[in-house]
Amino acid sequence: MLVKIATFFGIGHISKAPGTWGSLAALPLAFGMMWLGPWPYLLITIAIAILAIFAAEQYEKQSHKHDSKEIVIDEVAGILVTMAMLPMTWQSFVFGFILFRILDIFKPFPIRYFDRHVPGGFGVVADDLVAGLIANIILQVVLHNTTLLGT
């Protein structure tokens, strides 16, 4: 079951850009979780991040590869962090998705550090959580200083 979770129920097996597909697939989950309110959203996000660590660890043990492209549960966790405490607008989802993917693909410091130096399942997930946190901070600044994310 953890292997299925690691690939987000098969999304990670898409041959072209599985991380992007995993991130896209997480957006409806984020949207649904937003209806629950901020505290349930945060608690579920933490639970999914912990589950992602265990799932990535198990997938690594079975595949003998670190941070295999098939593991996309880390992108799911990263998108959930990105979207935390943002308004339920199409602008938030578009900017959140694009910003998270840019950070996840290019891995500027400190994301790159976590990607290269933290081993195991925690290492697989940590860089995406950091990318999500940085994206969220940027989006919070945008939200509170502009109308780009809608109302």
Angle at 127 between CA 125 and CA 133, to 5 degrees: 100
Provide the pLDDT for residue 13: 87
- Inter-residue contact 33 to 44 (CB < 8 Å): yes
Q: What is the pLDDT of residues 44-99, one digit of tens each?
A: 999 999 999 999 999 988 887 777 788 999 999 999 999 999 999 999 999 999 99
Looking at residues 109-115, what average pLDDT do you find? 91
pLDDT digits 0-9 by tens, 26-35: 999 999 999 9
The predicted-structure confidence for 48-58, as pLDDT tens digits, reads as follows 999 999 999 99
Amino acid 69: pLDDT: 87
Which of 81, 116, 111 lies closest to 97, judged by CA?
Answer: 81
Could you tell me if 121 and 53 are in contact, meaning their C-beta atoms sit under 8 angstroms apart?
yes
Q: Where are the domains of the chain?
A: 2-145
Q: How far apart are CA 147 and CA 151, in angstroms?
A: 7
Judged against a pLDDT cut of 90, whether residue 24 lies above it is answered with: yes
Mean pLDDT, the chain, whole residue set: 93
